[in-house]
Amino acid sequence: MDKRHFVFSGTLAYAVLLAMTAAQANDSTGYVGTGGVEYLKNKNISMHSEDLYISKEEVRVNYEFKNLSNKDITETVLFPMPAVPSFIDSDYADTSATYGNFKVWANGKPITPDQHVRTFMYPIIIKNGEKNYVEKAIDTTNIFKACGISDAQMMSPWTYKFDTDDINQRLLDCNSKALDRFIDDREDLDIFWDSQVIYSWEQTFKANTITKVKHTYKPLVGGSVDLDSGQYGNFCVDASTQKGFNKNSGRPYHALSYILTTGANWAKPITNFKLTVKRDPNELVSFCWKGKGKVKKIGTMTFEIKESNFVPTHDFDVAFIMK
């Protein structure tokens, strides 16, 4: 059996739309190391098919992976949840409802994945007396641990089991010069950091065989009382629908985002890809699609896209808008 281990350093190749939407992701392979997580392109295993179902209540994915080699291969498969901020306002997604909801099966047998937590902070730039944060966050997990902050505490934006102000105070009191690039005022409790949960499990892909993997979870769903016109382009709201919206102010909506592009980390394009989106009866659904497949309405509340030899080059943002 060919068993390979991959160790990487650096920050996560992962994106999240904060506040209004939250991102989920395709499975990829890699290794959870002390420097963060990176994804690798697997040359021996292809994603033969992906059947993705998205609604506000559930994300459900059925995969078929094919080992193209003549040897069994064991990989560490990663499923990263979004990095969510330590401070969230009232219209952010309910992270506690998503936490612990992830379930995975391989060839019909349930798997208990390992769980990892990472923290990220944004370096400060002070220019002309003004303080700004850089856009790209840096993995600060080791700094948090060196300051005596446990995994359970780092996970508090997901579980709400600890007061983040208490954690922030511990950071302020921590004698760590590494924090100086993220904290410029040791008296200010307003510290910005993100928490990410990553699930992982070892998966053996039998030689020249298809392995079936399924996972389900409750997605992080954001929302607001009004879909601003500046967001129409994010969800490709068509012109006729926009006119209807303009006649009535205060259009409530929910939204979520799904990271498709990590699905390109496997050998070859995805042979068969299907996306199903389901809305509620009192909603409109709007999203962008840049693939070759056409959006088809297959039920009163259900839409479907099929692709062949699909290489995901874009991610998927969807809005569920109240009629």
Run of H or E including 141 = helix 141-146
84 near 117, Cβ under 8 Å? Answer: no
For residue 108, the tally of other CB atoms under 10 A from its CB is 7
DSSP conformation letters of 69-82: SSS-EEEEEEEEEE
Q: Which of 266, 261, 241 is nearest to 322 (CA)?
A: 241
Run of H or E including 145 = helix 141-146
The class (CATH top level) of 2-118+198-322 is mainly beta
Per-residue pLDDT at 24 exceeds 90 = no
Q: Is the pTM of this model over 0.85?
A: no
102 near 199, Cβ under 8 Å? Answer: yes
**Mean pLDDT of the 58-76 span:** 94
Q: Which of 246, 154, 242 is nearest to 197 (CA)?
A: 154
> Facing residues of 268 across strands?
none
Run of H or E including 51 = strand 45-54
Confidence tier at 245 by pLDDT (50, 70, 90): confident
Q: What 3 state SS string does 238-283 have?
A: CHHHHHHHHCCCCCCEEEEEEECHHHHHCECCEEEEEEEEECCCCE
Can you give the pLDDT at residue 167?
A: 96
Can you give the pLDDT at residue 214?
A: 95
Q: What are the contacts of 313-316 at 24+ separation with CB within 8 A?
A: 313/261, 313/264, 314/260, 314/261, 314/288, 314/290, 315/15, 315/23, 315/257, 315/258, 315/259, 315/260, 315/261, 316/54, 316/257, 316/258, 316/259, 316/260, 316/275, 316/287, 316/288, 316/289
Confidence tier at 266 by pLDDT (50, 70, 90): confident
Confidence tier at 248 by pLDDT (50, 70, 90): low
Per-residue pLDDT at 92 exceeds 60 = no
Can you give the pLDDT at residue 131?
A: 83
DSSP 147: T
Confidence tier at 34 by pLDDT (50, 70, 90): low
Side-chain half-sphere of 133: how many Cα atoms within 13 Å?
A: 14
The token duo for 90 is: 């009232």
37 near 114, Cβ under 8 Å? Answer: no
The structural domains of the chain, with segments of one domain joined by +, span 2-118+198-322, 123-194
Per-residue pLDDT at 22 exceeds 70 = no
Q: What digits encode the pLDDT tens for the residues 144-169?
A: 999 999 999 999 988 889 999 999 99
> Facing residues of 198 across strands?
80, 116
For residue 58, the tally of other CB atoms under 10 A from its CB is 13
